[in-house]
Structure 1
Amino acid sequence: MHSELLSPAEMAEADRLAIAAGPLDGYGLMRRAGEAVAALVLARYPGATRVHVLCGPGNNGGDGYIVARLLQESGADVALWVSGEPRAGSDAALAAADCPLERRPLPAFAAEPGSLVVDALYGAGLSKPLSGDAAKAVQIVTELGLPVVAIDLPSGVSGESGAILGSAFRAATTVTFARKKPGHLLLPGREQCGEIVLADIGIGDDIIARIAPRTFENGPALWLETFPVPAVDAHKYRRGHTSVFSGGPSATGAARLSALAAARSGAGAVTVLSPANAMQVNAAHLTSIMLHKAETVADLGAFLTDRRPSSFVLGPGFGVGEKARDFALALLGAGQGQDAGIEGLVLDADGITSFRDEPETLFQAARRSGAPALVMTPHEGEFGRLFPDIANDKALSKLAKARAAAARANAVIVYKGADTVIAAPDGRAAINSNGAPWLATAGSGDVLAGIIAGLLAQGMPAFEAACAGVWIHAEAGSRFGPGLIAEDLPFAMVPVLHELVKGAMAVR
């Protein structure tokens, strides 16, 4: 699986580099694209009474002219509708010249039940709202409930952001080329794409490597080589020690969910750090998870010296305020000038909100030389509390917002949602695509924080640990399905982890 995602500008550069390298010229690549779409239409819709091909004036329309010609040559009943003429001398103009079908003006577009639509109007490069005749065509197709095969991206969906520009086709299948685009995975565009088919048109991996994309689809191909597999002679502390801060006596469950998830993800030892007044409550519910009192920063310092934990979770059920800030800043300062051995801090929920009035204090601590890695896991509201200007910038996609926040905070940002984006300070970012609505349940985020911390404790780099944690969490939830509650997730991870360990061992 190719995990790289290409922005529309990067895709244009990939086309240019491929054409320069040969042997295919631009029209050759366009023919390959049209052939891939035509083959899919013939294979999947043999019963379509008629195929309406809608062509725009650019390269997407050029692909459409080739599709229309090939379908007609195969015996299909094809109607060709065009919006604007291709630029003279362009590859699209060559495709139009080679297409013998009658060109009907898009303003006159009409279709009938039982027909199929091939959307070749605009694709991934659209930058302004779909309007006029194109928007009318979307309305007609939608009202008739016709299946749509979109070329590259459904027209009206931004390839950069996944935003719907005005209106957009809802495709049954989207055929794209070389690599997926961010708009295929970011909401709401993802819901418009249907099944996404990636077609090889002759743009090789060497071309993609020259572009060096920094955006990826999250999945094992991205991080499996760094996934922790215990050595034969491993003991519990060699497998990493995760510590999770607990809230008060009436708010201990979230920390225990995180702790159990950290243990399931492979951390050899897990400790719940509890205030004195919650020790008995926590003790009554913990078995393999250890328990330690941590009322003050001094208590935390003594614990660091004595037990040398590898990673921490701070936030789930903890409470908002000065105590959370003090603990977080103490941990981010613990790696300076000494071999503290802390791999990272996962800041979630109340831990994030505690810095809403002084975020720069947190960011400065994370920027200091020698500070442990900081991973933050905000949902929409928490993101807005810490990064209000970024959150309110309507010009930025979710991907761009996560990247900007990661750079500002010097942290890995897990911007949660149905299209979770994971971004690193160095500009790398991944979009998750295996989420499920069953994960929208109380405590689910606490489990995610624990998984990430458990992977950090085992030495997985912060960006890769966050990506793996998000994917494992989503995969477990998807497989479990209806009826899922947060307590189910740590156990639902087990078959997923079995497969990942087996895969990690195979690639080493």
Structure 2
Amino acid sequence: MELLTAKEMGRADKLAIKGGVAGAVLMENAGRSVADEVSLRFPDASTVAILCGPGNNGGDGFVAARRLLERGYFVRLGFDGDPRALPADAAEMAARYSGTIQPLDPALFDHADVIVDGLFGAGLARPLDGKLANLVGAANASGVPVIAIDVPSGVDGTTGMILGTAIRALSTVTFFRFKPGHLLMPGHLHCGELHLADIGIPDAVLETVKPTLYVNEPGLWLERFPWPTVDGHKYLRGDALVASGAADATGAARLAARGALRAGAGLVTVASPRNALAVNAAHLTAVMLREADGPQGLAALLSDTRKNAFLIGPGHGVGEETREMVLTALKATPAVVLDADALTSFAETPDVLFEAIHARAAPVVMTPHAGEFARLFGDVPGASKVDRTRTAAARCGATVVLKGPDTVISAPDGHAAIDTNGTPWLATAGSGDVLGGLVLGMLAQGLGGFDAGCIGVWMHGEAAKRFGPGLIAEDLPELVPEVLEDLEEYGLDG
């Protein structure tokens, strides 16, 4: 599913109206869906406090108030100013509301069963302060559950940043498409449960809006998923290589290798320095083992043209040898995944890495966490995590997977996705190594960098959710077959 920035959503509204859908109809549908959410969640509630702001979000609030009055709720509506000064559609909805209007004041919350936040929508561009900040603070402190319209007031709908202060909602009802701020931190923490309402905007407007940001879900990439074919064999499923660290740092490479194998790569080999061969051999079965000491040893392995995907970084150590091995790999033909120490090794010379990536044709995927990203890209500009990741991907020429609770995957051409299925249980040593292996497995099967990054991240989150509490990195590859089985059934169903 596409994600729309506040600007893109405004354009979608205008295109719908230009196409014959009255703005008042869109607002009526939006307000009704908010009233429906209140009725569904709080069928036995008595008093609803509704906060209406000076724009169309306030108009949605007036519609919700009228609808809830009609359903027998006692409504306290707060609004400051003259309703006739609202934008035209919102002023019309205010005129249709027959109840009383009170000033915006914390007294609205006294003995209320639920609060509806219609102060500001996704397009808020200034920090909340003064009276409105105090009102938001009082709503949060009241203990009364809040239903937010579009986004919780104070959350930037495009960046997810908090503008001064923000409502903490039990649920948020938004319209047509989710906004980036619903999924990006810290805004996501303020949204509660998200609900998407159809208010009558036709999907055809997206052909003109042309969004380039998506939710990372199977619908984005499933039609390109590399399922094995009846007449296939292991070499058709890809031959992946993972660089091992020294004898005291081999586990990360083995985690990645097992992830790649579970993801579907036909063959996976650990490229090990001589001093680590014995310890690696003691722990590998289906994953193969080859000696590769330094850049020359790696070059010899990569000269085998069947090797079509390579991962370096986990447990490899930061320094000159890692830098040289990365550059050796980038001069070869396989797709490359760079993680952890492979990224940090270029913290002082990022342009050397970026030039090598731009000079090759095969895809490169980087999988940094926030610290590794900062070391490699410095103060890359951008108002949001999406903007920063896009800028970084364009600069370096690789698909960048910026990990976190709101992982963002961005291709060099600007297409990006926000992942939504992560879980706190992934905050455990080695989980990122498995992710690198999952991405490697997808690249080995012939996918491009963006699809490989999106699928790897999604499978990683799904596997973790299935295990839950007590998860350790070794558990993740073993859950991948179950994830793939369900994914295959999902594709067959639809």
Q: In which range does the TM-score fall when normalised by the shorter chain? A: over 0.9
Q: Runs (4+) of structure 1 moved beyond 6 Å?
A: none
**Deviates most, 301-310 or 48-57:** 301-310
> Which residue does the alignment assign to 2:140?
142
- Residues 29-108 of structure 1: matches in 2 within 5 Å? 29-85=26-82, 87=85, 90-107=88-105
Q: Distance in 2 between matches of 1:89 and 1:447?
A: 52
What SS class does the counterpart of residue 15 from structure 1 fall into? helix
Q: Which amino acid counterpart does residue 291 of structure 2 have in structure 1? A: K
Superposed displacement of residue 114, structure 1: 5.0
Deviation at 1:212, TM superposition (A): 1.3
Q: 1:72-123 CA deviation, whole Å, 9 max, x = no partner?
A: 1111100110134454562111111111221111146432245210000001
Q: What's the offset of the Cα at 1:70? A: 1.0
In structure 2, the residue matched to 1:338 is none
Are 2:304 and 1:306 equivalent residues in the alignment? yes
> Counterpart in 1 of 2:393?
406
CA displacement at 1:301 relative to structure 2:
2.5
1:494 lines up with 2:481 in the alignment:
yes
TM-score normalised over the length of structure 1: 0.95
Q: Distance between the aligned counterparts of 1:108 and 1:501, measured in 2?
A: 52
Q: Secondary structure at the match of 1:137?
A: helix
Deviation at 1:133, TM superposition (A): 2.3
User: What is the CA distance between 1:506 and its match in structure 2?
Assistant: 5.8
Cα distance change, pair 89–8 in 1 and its aligned pair in 2 (3 A): closer
Deviation at 1:210, TM superposition (A): 2.1
**Partners of 1:63 and 1:114 in 2: how far apart?**
20
Matched letter for residue 123 of structure 2? G
- Distance (Å, rounded) in 2 between the aligned partners of 1:483 and 1:492: 14
Is the contact between residue 315 and residue 351 of structure 1 (CA under 8 Å) also seen in structure 2? yes
How far residue 204 of structure 1 moved from its aligned partner, in angstroms, is 1.5
**3-state DSSP of counterpart to 2:454:** helix
Matched, 1:212 2:210: yes
1:328-367 pair list within 5 angstroms = 328-335=326-333, 342=334, 344-367=335-358
> Structure 1, residues 251-309: CA drift from partner, whole Å, max 9, x if none?
00000000000000000000000011111111111111011111132322222233521
Q: Report the counterpart of residue 339 of structure 1 in structure 2.
A: none
Match of 1:384 in 2: 374
Q: Partners in 2 of 1:20 and 1:439 — Cα distance?
A: 46
**2:257 is matched with which residue?**
259
CA offsets per residue over residues 439-467 of structure 1, 9 Å max, x none? Answer: 00000000000000001100112101101
Whole-Å Cα distance in 1 between the matches of residues 109 and 17 of structure 2? 37
The residue type paired with residue 357 of structure 1 is E
Q: CA deviation at 1:427?
A: 0.4
Q: Bigger CA drift: 278-287 or 496-505? A: 496-505
The separation in 2 between residues aligned to 1:200 and 1:484, in whole angstroms, is 38
Q: Closer, same or farther in 2 for the Cα pair 1:185/1:484, shift >3 Å?
A: same
Give TM-score, length-normalised by structure 2: 0.97
- 2:172 is paired with a residue whose SS is strand
| One-letter code aligned to 1:52 | A
Question: Counterpart of 1:385 in structure 2: which amino acid?
Answer: R
Matched, 1:483 2:453: no
Equivalent AA in structure 2 for residue 419 of structure 1? D
> Taking structure 1 as reference, are residues 122 and 85 closer, same or farther at Cα in structure 2, changes over 3 Å only?
farther
Distance of 1:306 and 1:365 partners within structure 2: 21
- Counterpart CA distance in 2 for 1:332 and 1:503 is 36
Q: Percent identity of the aligned residues?
A: 53
Q: Which runs of 5+ in 2 are unaligned?
A: none
8 Å Cα contact 1:224-1:503 kept in structure 2: no
Question: Which residue identity lines up with residue 372 of structure 2 in the other structure?
Answer: E
Counterparts of 2:206 and 2:451 in 1: how far apart (Å)? 21
Match of 2:172 among 171, 174, 188: 174
Mapped to 2, the partners of 1:199 and 1:123 lie a distance apart of 15
Task: Answer yes or no: is 1:372 the counterpart of 2:362.
Answer: yes
Distance 1:313 1:505, change over 3 A: farther
Q: Any residues of structure 2 matched to 1:202-351 within 5 Å, and which? A: 202-306=200-304, 308-335=306-333, 342=334, 344-351=335-342
The Cα offsets for residues 143-175 of structure 1, whole Å up to 9 and x where unpaired, read as 221111100000011101111111111111100
CA distance in 1, matches of 2:111, 2:308: 62
Provide closer, same or farther for how the CA distance between residues 502 and 139 of structure 1 changes in structure 2, counting only shifts above 3 A: same
Q: Mind listing any 5+ residue stretches in structure 1 that lack a counterpart?
A: 336-341
Mapped contact 2:338–2:367 kept (Cα < 8 A) = yes
Letter of the 1:129 partner, please give it. Answer: P
Partners of 2:265 and 2:82 in 1: how far apart? 61
Residue 127, structure 1, aligned to residue 125, structure 2:
yes
User: Residue type of the partner of 2:128?
Assistant: L
